[in-house]
């Protein structure tokens, strides 16, 4: 009988595209929206459209931002000699939350994964090398995830930048194996940044 | 650092208004949207707006619909002498899925709950009485939920319609299909024994 309400079924199928949200949850969410005042739904719809219209990736570090360059890249209080390389904006935010790192960042937007056909050209590797070649950076903290792909990416970057004579570090163990940084608690991330070791 | 991306934090707080979705899940969903093509986000936003613009409640049975009266109310193949009263559209859909009922429906949009300040005037009770008074309906199946509020609502409707001489029925209590008796709660077994039927 839901077939007779196309706008309802369409919303359910759109909501079910979210990761971790199946058809039943999507239906529950749609019924919830149905009971909300129209202004609430409009606020959500406009927030959705705004996200895409207003945010972009910083042309320097590739973090999400509304202004280019982003607030981290333009922050004069940060250490220009130190750069932290992460897989995604979520990982950057996890490190920021730990308040243990005061350098610059570089977001790769992924990790090497030959099985998924993701090579260096699919990541923001080339802009990273250009930043390193400018000569200001003295230490690169490779904070890719502690997964097979993250470790492979760290190793790849280490080899690729060997000739630049930059000190390479990796987050200290203490972060559970196989974790994604986004879900690690702040205190653990803090310890891991403080105890970073030379690669 | 998310504070510097107002459109992102706004979307997260909008998504976190959904029942069962907290801040962490909302952030995950927002990051997922960030990686999707803009067309996907626009499809979701337009589906949201459409839901509110196109759907309304049927003026006869108060089920959600895009046409008024709804397809169930205008279906000539249904039994006009039989009406099923439910708390919400979800319950109506559950009964439709069972393919066991071929009469009309009436959606109350809630159940009596004095503690929450919900009385008969907050439900679609008056339009139900008007439908019953037209004299066509001979049996009313009260399919409110098997909760304190649902039972109270059933009892209230029974008393209210006593004088109309309509046959009142309630969904059978019993053992759910596929259950093992060992794991069914005592109250349900009790009701099932009381309501035992001749084989």
Residues B186 and B62: their CA atoms lie apart, in Å, by 36
pTM as predicted: 0.75
A101-119: pLDDT as tens digits: 999 999 999 999 999 999 9
Tell me: pLDDT of B110 over 90: yes
Q: Residue A183 — very low, low, confident or very high, per pLDDT cuts 50/70/90? A: confident
- A51 chain-B contacts, CB cut-off 8 A: 7-8, 11, 30, 33-34, 41
The pLDDT score that the predictor gives to residue B184 is 82
Nearest-CA distance from A104 to chain B in Å? Answer: 13
- B38 chain-A contacts, CB cut-off 8 A: 52
The pLDDT score that the predictor gives to residue B192 is 79
In chain A, what are the domains? 2-54 (1.10.8.420), 64-198 (3.40.1360.10)
The pLDDT score that the predictor gives to residue B2 is 63
Q: Residue A182 — very low, low, confident or very high, per pLDDT cuts 50/70/90? A: confident
B77-87: pLDDT as tens digits: 999 999 999 99
The pLDDT score that the predictor gives to residue A113 is 94
The pLDDT score that the predictor gives to residue B96 is 87
Q: Looking at this predicted complex, what is its ipTM?
A: 0.77
Instruction: For chain A, positions 57-96, list CB contacts with chain B under 8 A.
Output: 64-66, 70-72, 88-90, 92-93, 96
What are the CA-CA distances from residue A38 to residues A4, A198, B11, B17, B49 (Å)?
A: 21, 56, 17, 14, 8
Tell me: pLDDT of A173 over 90: no
Among the ranges given (A38-47, A145-154, A156-165, B181-190), the one the predictor scored with the smallest mean pLDDT: B181-190
Nearest-CA distance from A71 to chain B in Å? Answer: 7
Percent of chain A with pLDDT over 70: 95
Mean pLDDT for all residues in chain A: 90
Task: Give the count of beta carbons closer than 10 Å to the beta carbon of residue A104.
Answer: 21
Percent of chain B with pLDDT over 90: 69
Tell me: pLDDT of B11 over 70: yes
Intra-chain end-to-end CA distance of chain A, in Å: 61
Mean pLDDT for all residues in chain B: 90
């Amino acid at each position: 009988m839901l077939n007779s309400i196309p706008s309802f079924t369409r919303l359910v199928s759109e909501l079910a595209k979210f990761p971790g949200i199946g058809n039943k949850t999507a239906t529950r969410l749609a019924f919830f929206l149905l009971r909300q005042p129209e202004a609430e739904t409009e606020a959500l719809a406009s927030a959705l459209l705004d996200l895409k219209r207003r945010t972009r990736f910083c042309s320097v570090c590739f973090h999400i931002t509304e202004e280019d360059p982003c607030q981290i890249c333009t922050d004069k209080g940060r250490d220009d000699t130190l750069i932290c390389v992460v897989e995604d904006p979520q990982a950057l935010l996890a490190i920021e939350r730990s308040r243990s790192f005061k350098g610059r960042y570089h977001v790769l937007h992924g990790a090497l994964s030959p099985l998924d056909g993701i090579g260096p050209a699919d990541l923001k590797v080339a802009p990273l090398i250009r930043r390193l070649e400018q000569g200001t950076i003295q230490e690169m903290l490779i904070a890719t995830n502690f997964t097979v792909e993250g470790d492979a990416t760290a190793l790849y970057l280490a080899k690729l930048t060997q000739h630049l004579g930059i000190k390479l570090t990796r987050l200290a163990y203490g972060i559970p194996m196989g974790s994604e940084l986004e879900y690690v608690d702040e205190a653990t991330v803090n310890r891991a940044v403080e105890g970073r070791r030379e690669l």
